[in-house]
C-alpha cells in the first residue's frame, strides 16, 4: 500500500483558494479512477473534482465549509499495491502528473468492486484527464455515477449524484439494501417503484438544492431525464412554480437575534467587483419608456414557428438582438477603458446577468453578433439553465463586452445597474405589462416597459448614450427594423 495526499488543484485561471462544499466520500470508502469525490466552490463556480487515483480513502483533511489554498492537501488515499509492470504514483505527485499511470496499468479496468457495489467505475480513454472538471462538464468519455447498481449498458452521460452527501458514510449498507430490494440493473421508472424498493432517486446536487428550496419531495417526482434522472423542469413542474427565486412561504422569526454570514466565495467576488466598478468608473444612467406591444406580438409568432420548437422564447431574446443591432450603430458603447487608451471592440460577447441561488454571476455569449435569432435563443436558454444549475465555467464569465440585466422577471420597472468591470455599458430591461398609452391621440391599453442603462462617462458621452438607448427602444417598439 502506498499513501497519496491529494492537493487542491487550480481548476481555473489564477485560482488561489476554494471552499470545500460537500464531500462525496468518507474514510473507508473505495474510490475509483475519475470518480467525483468532492464538490468545491470557487469565486464564481461550483466544481466537481474527480480522483486521479484508485484506492481506499483513509482521511479527509479539510472539513466542509472551510476554505483552503490551492496546493493544500485535502484527501489521503491508500492505493493498492502496484502489480508487475505497473507504476505507482509518487506520494507527492499532482493529479495531472499521475493521472496517466492508472491507464497504463493492466489491471486498471478490472479493479474488482466490493460485494456491496460501493462504486461504479470505468476505464479512462486516452483523451480523458484526471484534472478537475466543472459540474456537468466532465471528460468526453463515459462518466461514473454514484448510483449503487449493477452494470447495465448505456451511453456516455453527465456525472449524476444519486444519494445525498449525508448518506456517503453509509453507502455500502444503502447499496446492499437497494440491490436486495430491486431487480438487477433496474432503473426507477416511476415514483412508486422508488418508494416500494427504496432505490435512491437520481438527481444532481443543483436539482436537489432546487427541490429543497421549493419544498419538493424528490421521491414523488416523476423523472424524465435520459437515464431516469430528475431534471430541473421536473422539479418546477411538481412545485407549480415559475422560478426558484420567488418566495415560497413566510418563515417564522428565527430564535437568534442575528446571523453572521462569512464573506467568501461568490459573495466576496461580487462585493469586490461592484466596489471596484462603482468607485473607478463614473456612472451615468438614462431611461426610456417603450411601447413593447409589437414585440409581444412578434414573440407569439416566434413561439408558433417550427424553427423555434423546444426553445424558450422571451422578451430577453428581442432585447439581446436589439442591443447587438444598436452596438453596430454606436460602437463606442462596446468598449473598454484603460489608462492609456480606449479599446473599441468590433465583436459582441453579450453578458447576461443571472441571479442564481449562489449569487449574481455574468456569463456571456461569445460572438453574439454572428448568431441568427434561433442560435441566439438557444444560447440564451443554455446560458440561463447552466447558470441556475451552478455549472457555469470560469471561462464563460470572462471576456464580456456589454451586459444586459433582466430585472423585469422580478416585477421591477427599472433600475440603475452597476457596470460589469471592464465594460462601459449595461442595459436593464424592466417588466412588460399593460398600461394606458396614447396612440394616435387616443388612450389605449398597450404593453409598456422601461429600459434603463448605465455608462462609463469616461468613454460614453451623453449624446452617444442617448442614441444607443433610443436605438434599443426603436427595436422593442418595432422588431421589423431588425430586417434592415
**Whole-number CA gyration radius for the chain:** 26
Q: DSSP letter for 195, please.
A: H
Whether 289 and 437 map to the same domain: the answer is yes
Residue 338 lies in a domain: yes
What CA–CA distance (Å, rounded) separates 102 from 100? 6
Evaluate whether residue 237 is within a structural domain. Answer: yes
Residue 172, domain member (yes or no) = yes
Longest CA pairwise span in the chain (Å)? 91
Tens place of pLDDT per residue across the chain (484 aa): 688 888 888 776 567 788 888 899 999 898 888 888 998 887 657 788 888 888 899 889 998 888 888 889 998 988 875 544 444 444 444 444 444 444 444 444 444 444 443 433 343 343 344 444 433 334 444 444 444 444 444 433 333 333 343 344 444 444 444 444 444 344 333 333 344 445 567 888 778 877 877 778 888 787 888 878 888 878 877 765 344 445 556 678 888 888 888 888 777 888 888 898 988 899 999 999 999 999 999 999 998 899 998 888 999 999 999 999 999 999 999 999 998 899 999 999 999 998 887 778 899 999 999 999 999 999 999 998 888 887 888 888 899 999 999 999 888 999 999 999 999 999 999 999 999 999 999 999 999 999 999 999 999 999 999 999 999 999 999 999 988 6
Same domain membership, residue 218 and residue 288: no
**Residue 263 located in a structural domain:** no
In a domain, 227, yes or no: yes
Do 62 and 82 touch, CB atoms closer than 8 A? no
Q: Are residues 328 and 377 in the same domain?
A: yes
Residues 296 and 428 in one domain: yes
Strands (E), 265-393: 283-291, 335-337, 342-344, 350-352, 354-356, 359-361, 364-365
Count structural domains, the chain: 3
Indicate if 429 and 319 belong to the same structural domain: yes
Last residue of one domain, picked from the residues 144, 172, 196: 144
- Whether residue 117 is found in the same domain as residue 196: no
- 358, 430: one domain: yes
Q: Is residue 19 part of a domain?
A: yes
User: Is the distance from CB of 35 to CB of 118 less than 8 angstroms?
Assistant: no
User: Of the listed 137, 157, 283, 457, which one is catalytic?
Assistant: 457
In the residue annotation, 457 being an active-site residue is answered as yes
Report the CATH number that the domain containing residue 125 is assigned in CATH.
Answer: 2.40.50.100
Q: What CATH number is given to the structural domain containing 443?
A: 3.30.559.10
In a domain, 260, yes or no: no
d(CA 23, CA 3): 19
| 275 three-state secondary structure | helix
**Per the structure block, which three cell numbers stand in for 483?**
430586417
Residues 479 and 351 in one domain: yes
CA distance 349 to 287: 23
Do 240 and 315 reside in the same domain of the chain? no
- What number of residues does the chain have? 484
User: Cell 475519475 sits at which residue?
Assistant: 34
Q: Would you state the cell numbers that stand for residue 361, as one nine-digit string?
A: 454571476
Residue 168 and residue 139 share a domain: no
- Return phi, psi of residue 192, to 5°: -60, -35
Is there a single domain that holds both residue 182 and residue 117?
no
Boundaries of domain holding 221: 159-249
Is residue 298 included in any domain, yes or no? yes
Same domain for 230 and 87:
no
Amino acid at each position: 500500500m502506498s499513501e497519496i495526499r491529494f492537493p487542491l488543484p487550480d481548476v481555473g485561471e489564477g485560482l488561489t483558494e476554494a471552499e470545500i462544499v460537500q464531500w462525496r466520500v468518507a474514510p473507508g470508502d473505495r474510490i475509483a479512477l475519475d470518480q467525483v469525490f468532492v464538490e468545491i466552490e470557487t469565486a464564481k463556480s461550483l466544481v466537481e473534482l474527480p480522483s486521479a487515483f484508485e484506492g481506499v480513502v483513509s482521511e479527509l483533511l479539510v472539513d466542509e465549509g472551510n476554505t483552503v489554498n490551492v496546493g493544500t492537501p485535502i484527501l489521503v488515499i491508500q492505493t493498492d499495491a502496484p502489480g508487475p509492470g505497473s507504476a505507482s504514483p509518487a506520494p507527492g505527485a499532482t493529479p495531472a502528473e499521475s493521472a496517466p499511470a492508472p491507464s497504463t496499468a493492466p489491471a486498471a479496468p478490472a479493479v474488482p468492486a466490493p460485494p456491496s457495489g460501493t462504486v461504479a467505475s470505468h476505464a479512462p480513454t486516452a483523451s480523458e484527464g484526471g484534472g478537475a472538471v466543472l459540474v456537468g462538464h466532465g471528460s468526453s468519455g463515459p462518466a461514473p455515477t454514484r448510483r449503487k447498481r449493477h452494470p447495465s449498458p448505456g451511453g456516455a452521460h453527465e456525472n449524476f449524484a444519486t444519494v445525498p452527501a449525508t448518506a456517503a458514510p453509509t453507502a455500502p449498507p444503502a447499496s446492499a439494501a437497494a440491490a436486495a430490494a430491486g431487480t438487477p440493473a433496474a432503473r426507477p421508472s416511476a415514483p412508486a417503484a422508488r418508494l416500494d424498493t427504496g432505490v435512491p432517486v437520481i438527481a444532481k446536487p443543483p436539482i436537489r438544492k432546487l427541490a429543497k428550496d421549493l419544498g419538493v419531495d424528490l421521491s414523488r417526482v416523476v423523472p424524465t431525464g435520459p437515464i431516469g434522472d430528475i431534471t430541473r423542469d421536473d422539479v418546477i413542474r411538481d412545485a407549480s412554480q415559475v422560478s426558484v427565486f420567488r418566495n415560497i412561504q413566510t418563515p417564522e422569526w428565527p430564535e437568534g437575534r442575528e446571523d453572521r454570514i462569512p464573506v467568501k466565495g461568490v459573495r466576496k467576488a461580487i462585493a469586490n467587483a461592484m466596489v471596484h466598478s462603482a468607485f473607478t468608473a463614473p456612472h451615468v444612467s438614462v431611461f426610456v419608456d417603450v411601447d413593447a406591444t409589437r414585440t409581444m406580438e412578434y414573440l407569439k409568432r416566434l413561439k408558433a414557428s417550427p424553427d423555434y420548437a423546444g426553445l424558450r422564447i422571451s422578451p430577453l431574446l428581442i432585447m439581446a438582438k436589439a442591443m447587438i443591432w444598436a452596438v453596430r450603430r454606436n460602437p463606442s458603447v462596446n468598449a473598454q477603458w484603460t489608462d492609456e487608451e480606449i479599446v473599441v471592440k468590433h465583436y459582441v460577447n453579450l453578458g447576461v446577468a443571472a441571479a442564481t441561488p449562489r449569487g449574481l454571476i455574468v456569463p456571456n455569449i461569445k460572438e453574439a453578433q454572428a448568431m441568427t435569432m434561433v442560435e441566439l435563443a438557444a444560447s440564451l436558454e443554455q446560458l440561463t439553465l447552466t447558470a441556475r444549475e451552478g455549472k457555469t465555467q470560469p471561462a464563460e464569465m470572462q471576456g464580456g463586452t456589454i451586459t444586459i440585466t433582466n430585472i423585469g422577471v422580478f416585477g421591477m420597472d427599472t433600475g440603475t445597474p452597476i457596470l460589469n468591470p471592464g465594460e462601459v455599458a449595461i442595459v436593464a430591461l424592466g417588466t412588460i405589462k399593460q398600461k394606458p398609452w396614447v396612440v394616435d391621440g387616443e388612450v389605449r391599453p398597450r404593453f409598456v416597459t422601461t429600459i434603463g442603462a448605465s455608462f462609463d462617462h469616461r468613454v460614453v458621452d451623453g449624446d452617444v448614450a442617448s442614441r444607443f438607448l433610443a436605438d434599443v427602444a426603436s427595436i422593442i417598439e418595432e422588431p421589423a427594423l431588425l430586417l434592415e
